[in-house]
C-alpha cells in the first residue's frame, strides 16, 4: 500500500494476556518508529529501528514491551502480561532515513483496550 499500515485497528484484551501489534511501513523507508498515545496526550516515544536493529529503545516502559523488525520492513510490537494502564493508541511511523530528522509518516494506529 501507499501508506503505513497497522493491524489490528482495534484490540480488546483481558488483563494478563499477550498482545502483538503489527506495522507495515512505506516501502523503501529504512526507519521505523513506535509511539504510544493516550487520550488527550501527545504521542510518547517507545522505540525506533534503523533497518533491522533497534537504534533507540529507551522509551519502552518496562520489560513487558518488546519490538522486532527481523527483515528491516514489517515490525511487531509485543506486550506481555498486559495491564489496564497499557490501554492506548499505538502509533507506528516510518521515514526515509532516521539519521536526518525528516517527515514521519504515521499509520492510523492500533487502539488497545485492556479490560
Partner 1 sequence: TQLLEQSPQFLSIQEGENLTVYCNSSSVFSSLQWYRQEPGEGPVLLVTVVTGGEVKKLKRLTFQFGDARKDSSLHITAAQPGDTGLYLCAGAGETSGSRLTFGEGTQLTVNP
Strands 44-50 vs 53-56: parallel, antiparallel or unpaired? antiparallel
Are 38 and 46 in contact, with CB atoms under 8 Å apart? Answer: no
The residue among 34 and 86 lying less far from partner 1, judged by its C-beta, is: 34
How many Cβ atoms sit within 10 Å of the Cβ of residue 48?
Answer: 24
The residue among 36 and 86 lying less far from partner 1, judged by its C-beta, is: 36
Note whether 26 binds partner 1 by CB under 8 A: no
> What would the x/- binding string for partner 1 be over residues 32 to 71, using CB under 8 A?
-x-x----xxxxxx--x------xx-xx------------
Under 8 Å CB-to-CB from 101, ≥6 apart: which residues?
none
User: How far is the C-alpha of 77 from the C-alpha of 96, rounded, in Å?
Assistant: 20
> What would the x/- binding string for partner 1 be over residues 70 to 109, using CB under 8 A?
---------------------x-x-x--xxxxxxx-xxxx
Handedness of CA 100, 75, 23, 3 (dihedral sign): positive
The residue among 33 and 114 lying less far from partner 1, judged by its C-beta, is: 33
Name the residues that contact partner 1, by CB under 8 A: 4, 31, 33, 35, 40-45, 48, 55-56, 58-59, 91, 93, 95, 98-104, 106-109
Amino acid at each position: 500500500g501507499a501508506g503505513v499500515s497497522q493491524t489490528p485497528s482495534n484490540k480488546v484484551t483481558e488483563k494478563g494476556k499477550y498482545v502483538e501489534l503489527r506495522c507495515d511501513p512505506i516501502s523503501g523507508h529504512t526507519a521505523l518508529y513506535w509511539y504510544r498515545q493516550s487520550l488527550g496526550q501527545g504521542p510518547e516515544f517507545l522505540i525506533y529501528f534503523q533497518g533491522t536493529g533497534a537504534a533507540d529503545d529507551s522509551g519502552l516502559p518496562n520489560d513487558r514491551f518488546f519490538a522486532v523488525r527481523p527483515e528491516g520492513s514489517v515490525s511487531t510490537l509485543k506486550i506481555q502480561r498486559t495491564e489496564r494502564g497499557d490501554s492506548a493508541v499505538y502509533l507506528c511511523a516510518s521515514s526515509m532515513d532516521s539519521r536526518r530528522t525528516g517527515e514521519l509518516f504515521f499509520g492510523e494506529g492500533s487502539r488497545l483496550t485492556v479490560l
